[in-house]
Amino acid sequence: MQVTETLAEGLKHEFKVSVPASDIDAKVDARLVDMKDKVRLNGFRPGKVPVAHLKKVYGRSVAAETVEQLIRDTNAGIFTERGFRLATEPKVTMPTEEKEIEDILAGKSDLNYSVAIEVVPAIELADFKSFNVEKPVAEVTDADIDEALKRIADQSRPYEAKAEGAKAEKGDRVTVAFKGTIDGVAFDGGTGENIQVVIGSNTFIPGFEDQLIGIASGETRNVKASFPKNYAAPNLAGKDAEFETTASLIEAPQESKVDDEFAKNLGMESLDKLKEAMRERLVQEFSGASRQRVKRTLLDKLDETHKFGPPPSLVEEEFNLMWNSIKAEMESTGKTFADEDTTEEKAKEEYQKIADRRVRLGLVLSEIGEKNKITVTDDEVSRALIDRARQSPGREKEVWDFYRSNPNALAQLRAPIYEDKVVDFILELANVTEKKVTRDDLLKEEEDKTAA
């Protein structure tokens, strides 16, 4: 066997491989001999079928299987010998002429093929003990609990009918009946009876609720509004509609009391018990937010300390996934790059940087995990799958069967578990210091397009 490297350009390598016909023929004969005691053919006693006859019957199929296995084994040997870690699947180029293929399978011609690969670069890991990571933490205060309970109370507040002749104001609940038309023609789903609308809740299509301000019980108005361009029903998306709307009841919101009765309506024994439960929930929420901030900081550190050229094909694949998603979202919402105060060229450049970062960080995390024997157990994946199934009540078995029969989907469950375990490993070595912050500082939204 002869292996010749024909290209060594950065992370890309190509090889030409030549396997003598005699080697292939010898392997085919060995497989046929192994088959001799297992094959049953009419006219022959078990184990007495001549190899020559087996070759006539099974020779071509056995030769094809042998060549496939030979290529896999040869390629594995080439990569292992050179210490290559593949970034993508090898691209094997075989002869295409039918006669040439037949001669190879018949053992008359040498097997000549080429294999192109892209490899993962050698990654020199940083000293994680030198990492200084700040962990923001916030205490749950009584004010936080009161605010959370007030939000729940506001969502379930009672309404009381306003006096006869009273006009609807923002925050009021209006019970209406409506008939919708587009270009004078009624459409499916455009009619409603006894529909309650809270003005200012933004639960109806844009413009509908505001036009109910000032309406009185028994009054009819023609409300004009447009369906969003990304509306779920494609036949209505972006269309202008008119609704003949009649109000039958105007109600004003009443004050919600956060007391023992309120707590009991939520299934708790008392207000004190409700506050205890809310405190526990907020502690978990704050802890999760703190964890995410620390993780983001740590990923930034890994990005800063591991600068190398990642495999171009992986970056291109990651970029295409993001870019296709961005384009699809823009088409569905009708937005343009100008709306985002940028151009398509600048946006592409920015997402190219994000793709580069994501691939590099993925490779770094994988390297850390591999070198430190960090693994994800089947039990951990099963627990994640159970949690995912519970998120779809009534469809648990369907979700379970989908993931169990779809290796790629199961891998998507495994990946974040693996990442978190690697992050925990680094944090154990790093110098982590806590910094007390306010709830608002902890939970504030941070625009970070470079987050992995």
326: nearest Cα among 315, 314, 340: 340
CATH of the domain at 324: 1.10.3120.10
Does residue 42 belong to any structural domain of this protein? yes
251: nearest Cα among 205, 225, 202, 212: 212
Distances (CA, A) of 124 to 277, 363, 367, 371: 47, 11, 9, 11
β-bridge mates for residue 122, sequence order: none
Pair (288, 412) in one structural domain: yes
Does residue 259 belong to any structural domain of this protein? no
pLDDT in tens, 40-63: 666 565 665 666 766 776 778 888
DSSP line for 241-264: EEEEEEEEEEEEE-PPP-SHHHHH
Does residue 189 belong to any structural domain of this protein? yes
Residue 381: which residues within 8 A CB-CB, separation 6 or more?
A: 410, 413, 414, 417
Distances (CA, A) of 46 to 38, 126, 335: 8, 63, 73
β-bridge mates for residue 92, sequence order: 115
Q: How far apart are the first and last CA of the chain?
A: 44
Distances (CA, A) of 123 to 83, 126, 333: 13, 9, 41
Angle, vertex CA 341, rays to CA 317 and CA 296, nearest 5: 55
Tell me, what's the pLDDT at 447? 40
Pair (170, 56) in one structural domain: no
Does residue 139 belong to any structural domain of this protein? no
Q: Are 450 and 354 in contact (CB under 8 A)?
A: yes
Looking at 201, 221, 253, the residue that finishes a domain is 253
Cα separation, 147 vs 167, whole angstroms = 31
Tell me which DSSP letter residue 216 carries: B
What are the φ/ψ torsions at residue 48 (nearest 5 degrees)? -110, 10
Tell me, what's the pLDDT at 449? 37
Pair (232, 285) in one structural domain: no
Cα separation, 150 vs 119, whole angstroms = 56
Cα separation, 240 vs 308, whole angstroms = 53
Looking at 87, 118, 149, the residue that finishes a domain is 118
Q: Give Cα 287 to chain centroid, integer Å.
A: 23
Does residue 134 belong to any structural domain of this protein? no
Looking at 253, 282, 311, the residue that finishes a domain is 253
Cα separation, 394 vs 165, whole angstroms = 47
Report the SS3 class of residue 44. Answer: coil
Tell me, what's the pLDDT at 241? 95
Does residue 136 belong to any structural domain of this protein? no
The number of domains in the chain is 3
The boundaries of the domain holding residue 56 are 2-118
Cα separation, 290 vs 151, whole angstroms = 23
In angstroms, how far apart are the furthest CA atoms of the chain? 104
Count CB-CB contacts under 10 A for residue 148: 17
Pair (296, 439) in one structural domain: yes
Express as a percent the part of the chain with pLDDT over 70. Answer: 94
Task: Tell me the two tokens of residue 212.
Answer: 């109910």
- Location of structure tokens 């070595």: 429
Pair (358, 411) in one structural domain: yes
Tell me which DSSP letter residue 259 carries: S
CATH of the domain at 189: 3.10.50.40
Please give the radius of gyration of the chain, using alpha carbons only, rounded to the nearest integer: 33
| Block mean pLDDT (10 aa), the chain, length 452 | 91 94 86 70 62 70 88 93 91 90 87 94 94 95 94 88 94 96 93 94 92 96 90 86 96 90 92 96 95 95 94 94 90 80 92 96 95 95 92 90 90 93 96 93 61 40
Residue 30: which residues within 8 A CB-CB, separation 6 or more?
A: none
Cα separation, 417 vs 385, whole angstroms = 11
Pair (294, 439) in one structural domain: yes
Cα separation, 333 vs 336, whole angstroms = 9
Pair (235, 304) in one structural domain: no
Pair (285, 394) in one structural domain: yes
Tell me, what's the pLDDT at 31? 80
Report the SS3 class of residue 443. Answer: helix
Pair (310, 423) in one structural domain: yes
CATH of the domain at 72: 3.30.70.1050
Pair (113, 170) in one structural domain: no
Tell me, what's the pLDDT at 46? 62
Task: Tell me the two tokens of residue 36.
Answer: 């001799």
- Positive or negative, the CA dihedral 316, 317, 318, 324 is positive
Confidence (pTM): 0.73
Task: Tell me the two tokens of residue 281.
Answer: 């929930």
Cα separation, 127 vs 130, whole angstroms = 6
Does residue 132 belong to any structural domain of this protein? no
Does residue 379 belong to any structural domain of this protein? yes
Pair (176, 209) in one structural domain: yes
Pair (377, 285) in one structural domain: yes
Q: Are 439 and 138 in contact (CB under 8 A)?
A: yes
Tell me, what's the pLDDT at 41? 64
